[in-house]
Amino acid sequence: MSRGKFFVIAFVCSFAWYIFPAYLFLTLSSISWVCWAFPKSITAQQLGSGMSGLGIGAFALDWSVIASYLGSPLVTPFFAIVNVLVGYVLVMYMVIPISYWGMNVYEANKFPIFSSDLFDKQGQLYNISTIVNNKFELDMENYQQQGRVYLSTFFAISYGIGFAAIVSTLTHVALFNGK
């Protein structure tokens, strides 16, 4: 078999493998038996959904979903995979459920667990256009009238961890490479 023929066969196979979960049948990206067992339960959807929940009982048939965070787990060192896994388990299965269901931090139960949208106090999408002027600057009077901005639990924790990572990186460099 020539190299060109092998390339075409490999290309067609990889295209066929990718087109189904990515475009034609998105359910293959994350399959959750918890969501199928309890289709009308909001809590089951929050726990089981791999795309918009905690992913308990979910598995993926799409390699791009499996390798989405660290890149390929086949080339990443084992200690890095374990480090990410420990952080993932701590945040996803301890911090977020305690913040959302246990402590109801910042009235989290009014909002989805995972969302990058902004919300108002009633849990509706925040209308940003009402609090900015024509220069896209914050209008404090309208902001006071509209109320505070609320984030989903995961989005707020992600922001906090991101800021902590920046500070920890600077601290690490100062301690280990500073003079």
Residue whose pair of structure tokens reads 């475009």 in the numeric block? 23
| Domain assignment of residue 39, yes or no | yes
- Contact between 72 and 53 (Cβ < 8 Å): no
Quote the domain boundaries for residue 9: 1-68
| Domain assignment of residue 1, yes or no | yes
- Name the strand (E) or helix (H) holding 118: none
- Name the strand (E) or helix (H) holding 75: none
Residue whose pair of structure tokens reads 């969302």 in the numeric block? 115
Residues making up the chain, counted from first to last: 179
Q: Where are the alpha helices (DSSP H) in the chain?
A: 3-19, 33-37, 42-48, 63-66, 78-90, 96-97, 140-146, 153-177
| Domain assignment of residue 18, yes or no | yes
CA atoms of 137 and 118, how far apart (whole Å): 17
CB atoms within 10 A of CB 69: 11
CA atoms of 100 and 155, how far apart (whole Å): 12
Give 20: exposed, middle or buried? Use CB within 10 Å, 0-12, 13-18, 19+: middle
Contacts of 75 (CB under 8 A, 6+ apart): none
pLDDT tens over the chain, length 179 residues: 899 999 999 999 988 877 877 777 777 677 888 988 999 998 998 998 887 888 888 888 777 777 776 677 777 888 988 998 899 899 989 999 999 999 999 888 898 888 889 999 998 999 998 999 888 999 999 999 999 999 999 999 999 999 999 999 999 999 998 77
| Domain assignment of residue 168, yes or no | no
| Domain assignment of residue 138, yes or no | no
Q: How many domains does the chain divide into?
A: 1
| Domain assignment of residue 52, yes or no | yes
**Angle, vertex CA 100, rays to CA 158 and CA 87, nearest 5:** 40
Residue 142 tokens read as 């309208």
- Residue 64 has a pLDDT of 73
CA atoms of 147 and 15, how far apart (whole Å): 48
Residue whose pair of structure tokens reads 């918890």 in the numeric block? 34
pTM (two decimals): 0.72
| Domain assignment of residue 82, yes or no | no
What is the phi/psi pair of residue 36, to 5°?
Answer: -70, -35
